Amino acid sequence: MYRIPILRMGRTLLVTIQIDMEDQTAMALQNDLAEQIVKTGARGVLIDISALEIVDSFVGRMLAGISSIGKILDATTVVVGMQPAVAITLVELGLSLDGVKTALNVSKGMALLEAAAQGDSFVT
Amino acid sequence: MYRIPILRMGRTLLVTIQIDMEDQTAMALQNDLAEQIVKTGARGVLIDISALEIVDSFVGRMLAGISSIGKILDATTVVVGMQPAVAITLVELGLSLDGVKTALNVSKGMALLEAAAQGDSFVT
């Protein structure tokens, strides 16, 4: 089975989804990310989907799932690089990705994660 | 044809190679990277190959090619995440990747690129 690699950059995990995922790959990614968040103490997860031209309801739910799991494990998830057609399809599918943070590109996503981390610094 | 996405993070371009590349994909990556370096003024290119279990001589030469092109365009290329078996194969193939900078993981690669950029600051 094809596994999507997870890159660690400081306290952020970076995932680039490059090809249409089979369900098994999507499930594995969810599990691997949860494991890596706990193992590395990451506070942010950045998922780049700029290469995806189609996002079906399964992948949409998977993205929402990762975001929810991340939240429980105290990590913020940001999905970046969504193509306009993908955004349109998601809404047509009735998936508004509630609770999933998005940003136009990786740089903006990183800025969002840094802002979220700084908001935390008062608490920790 | 499958195209590998190039992520821009500040002045660094990040590429994650996730599946075995066909020759056409490898050529396209080389061209895309050269274009992006010029377009974005990037000073560093980070190529993660942790997902690759096999690197043949074509891919080996492509990595060396990207590094050489980058150098001409004033960008440092670092290849990160090479699996031990890949390193062994490359040497057995007689490809020692001369001129290609390597680092164990993305964090170390980023540190290498930052050090290279700071070395430049005396010149600019």
* Best CA proximity match to B79, nearest among B61, B89, B92: B61
Q: Quick check: A124 pLDDT over 60?
A: no
Percent of chain B with pLDDT over 90: 58
| ipTM for the assembly | 0.74
Q: Quick check: B110 pLDDT over 60?
A: yes
CATH class of the structural domain A7-119? alpha beta
Verify whether the Cβ–Cβ distance A7 to B110 is below 8 Å. Answer: no
- Bridge-based pairing state of the strands B44-48 and B12-16: parallel
End-to-end CA distance of chain B: give it in Å, rounded. 40
SS3 call for B54: coil
pLDDT band at B54 (very low <50, low <70, confident <90, very high): confident
| Strand partners for B7 | B14
Range A82-111 average pLDDT: 90
User: What span, in angstroms and rounded, lies between the C-alpha atoms of B54 and B19?
Assistant: 10
Q: Quick check: B25 pLDDT over 80?
A: yes
Residue ranges of chain A whose CB lies within 8 Å of a chain B CB: 2-5, 7-10, 14, 16, 18-19, 48, 50-51, 81, 105-107, 110
Looking at domain B7-120, which of 3.40.1440.60, 3.90.1150.10, 3.30.750.24, 3.30.43.10 is its CATH number? 3.30.750.24
Angle subtended at Cα A23 by Cα A5 and Cα A7, rounded to the nearest 5 degrees: 10
Tell which wins on pLDDT, A121 or B36.
Answer: B36
User: What span, in angstroms and rounded, lies between the C-alpha atoms of A36 and A22?
Assistant: 21
Q: What is the pLDDT of residues A7-22, one digit of tens each?
A: 998 899 999 998 888 8
